[in-house]
């Protein structure tokens, strides 16, 4: 058992939840999402985000639209779908339960 591994796994679990939360009620393109995740120290290397976004999109939780950018390549603006919103609501309650449970047991 390797502590780095465990840490990465714990981060991983909440990462999807956080991405969905960031996109709740607003559009964002990957660099915005990265900024927020990096500020929160949830992500170390940026590359991790992209497969995750693609997977969430492929399972129908996210959708995106293209937007031209003056300064750089065209951007993909992601937003939650209807399914994604339902998914997030479920995760919200799960997270609360989990938070309480962890809080209780580690007290």
Partner 1 sequence: MKKTITINISGVIFNIEEEAYDILRGYLDRLSKNFTDSDGREEIMGDIESRIAELFQVRLGDKKEVVSDSDVKHVMDTMGKPEDFGMEAEEEQPKSKSYSTEHGSSAKRRVYRDTDKSVIGGVCSGISHYFGWDPLVVRLILLVLFLGMGFGFLLYIILWIIIPAAKTTAEKLEMRGEPVTVENIKKKVTETLNNFTVSNKMDGEFHYQHARSQAGKASDALVDVLGRLFGFIGGVLGFFFLMVGLILVTIVLCTWYDPTILQFGNDTWNMQWAEVNGLIFDSRSQGNMFFAGAMAVGIIPVIGLILLGAKLLFRWDIKGKPVVPALIALWLIGLGLLVVTGISLGKEFSQPGEYVEIGKRMSSEVPLTMHIANGEAGQDIRSRNHWVGNFPEEYIEVDGERIIGHYPRIDISVNEESLEYVVKIYKKARGFTMGSGDQRAENIEYPFSFSEQNELILSPVFTAPLKDRFRGQHCEIEILIPVGQRIYISEEVQNFLGNVMNPTYYSRSELVGKEWLMTPEGLVLSGSMPLIEVPEEEI
Should residue 12 be labelled a site residue for partner 1 when binding is judged by CB under 8 A?
Answer: yes
How many amino acids of this chain bind partner 1 (CB under 8 A)? 30
Q: Which of 7, 40, 54, 101 binds partner 1 (CB under 8 A)?
A: 54
Decide: 74 and 67 in contact? Cβ < 8 Å. Answer: yes
Answer yes or no whether residue 76 interacts with partner 1 by CB under 8 A.
yes
In angstroms, the CA 69 to CA 33 distance is 17
Measured CA to CA in angstroms, residue 25 lies from 28, 45, 101 at distances of: 10, 26, 28
- Can you tell me which of 1, 39, 51, 106 binds partner 1, judged by CB under 8 A? 51
101 touching partner 1, by CB under 8 A: no
DSSP 72-95: SS-EEEEEE-HHHHHHHHHHHHHH
Asked whether position 94 contacts partner 1 by CB under 8 A, the answer is: no
| Interatomic CA distance for residues 76 and 61, integer angstroms | 15
Binding site for partner 1 (CB under 8 A): 2, 4-5, 8-9, 12, 30-31, 34, 44-48, 50-55, 58-60, 71-76, 83
């Amino acid at each position: 058992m390797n502590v780095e591994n465990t840490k990465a796994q714990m981060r991983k679990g909440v990462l999807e939840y956080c991405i969905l939360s960031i996109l709740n009620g607003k559009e964002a393109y990957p660099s915005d999402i990265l900024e927020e995740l990096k500020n929160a120290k949830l992500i170390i290397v940026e590359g991790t985000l992209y497969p995750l976004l693609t997977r969430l999109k492929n399972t129908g939780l996210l959708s995106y639209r293209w937007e031209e950018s003056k300064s750089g390549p065209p951007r993909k603006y992601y937003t939650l779908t209807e399914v994604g919103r339902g998914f997030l609501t479920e995760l919200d309650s799960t997270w609360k339960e989990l938070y309480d449970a962890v809080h209780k047991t580690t007290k």
